[in-house]
Amino acid sequence: MTKLLEFAGRPVIYALQEAGRMLFLLFSALAWMCRPPFRIRVIFAQMEFVGVHSLVIIIITGAFTGAVLALQSYYGFRMFGGESLVGSTVALAMTRELGPVFAALMVTARAGSAMAAELGAMRVNEQIDALHSMSVNPVQYLVMPRVVAGVLMLPALTVICDFVGVLGGYFVGVRVLGINSGIFVAKIIEYVGMDDIFSGLIKSMVFGLLLTLIGCYKGYYASGGAKGVGAAATQAVVLSSVCILISDYFLTAAMF
């Protein structure tokens, strides 16, 4: 019985320890946001890395997501003569759910894994310890700029993903499937409000915080040489993706 309880409790204790260390890292990063030096140049460099360098994959993802949405919803609505609702369906799905979620997942795969690998390499090569010896706080220099960049750039990437997704849906709906362009646009204006857009932006800020925090955490506490760095990058992507999907459910339930 004791061995059974120990076997069942060990993962719970490990998860609580991980959550506690992650929260401590988050609060440390938040505290350093308000204390000089503010590392503005480092923050802008991370914003470029997270945002600008992710543009291509965000545009491709958004365009084909909107196109597939238009295609699938058209064949569903055609069964009862509701083809005019394709535009609003694409726009609502992109702004509320798919834009924020897909943008976050793509940034996680590209930038989150890179953050974990970069910080992990610095940890195993003792570069983080070297920062301590130079009286540079590694949380302020390495973690805080990445968290700020994620929170600021994910909403911008989400807006781009939403817009490109609607354009992709418009192209398929109007040019390929023959839906009237005026009706397509009118239904978007009728059914999509600013609250739908803002809800997606709020989600994207939460997702940006999650993916950068988890990526930095896994890299910051990496160990075990090159193998440990690879494991940290993999764990960062998996855990970030799962947390994004779980938090999306709770945010949706709270907002709608």
Amino acid at 35: R
More confident residue, 5 or 75: 75
Express each pLDDT in 164-199 by its tens digit.
999 999 999 999 998 999 999 999 999 999 999 999
pLDDT range class, residue 32, cuts 50, 70, 90: confident
Express each pLDDT in 120-148 by its tens digit.
999 999 899 898 888 889 999 999 999 99
Within 10 Å of residue 170's Cβ, how many Cβ atoms? 22
pLDDT range class, residue 211, cuts 50, 70, 90: very high
Express each pLDDT in 60-117 by its tens digit.
999 999 999 999 999 888 888 888 899 999 999 999 999 999 999 999 999 999 999 9
- What are 19's two structure tokens? 């959550």
153 Cβ contact partners less than 8 Å away, ≥ 6 residues apart:
47, 50, 51, 54, 107, 208
- Inform me whether the pLDDT recorded for 43 exceeds 70: yes
DSSP-H helix ranges across 54-193: 55-77, 86-93, 99-107, 113-124, 127-133, 138, 144-170, 181-191
Task: Show me where the domains of the chain are located.
Answer: 40-69+97-169+193-255
Task: Report how far residue 43's alpha carbon sits from residue 39's, in angstroms, rounded to the nearest whole number.
Answer: 6
Within 10 Å of residue 146's Cβ, how many Cβ atoms? 28
pLDDT range class, residue 15, cuts 50, 70, 90: confident
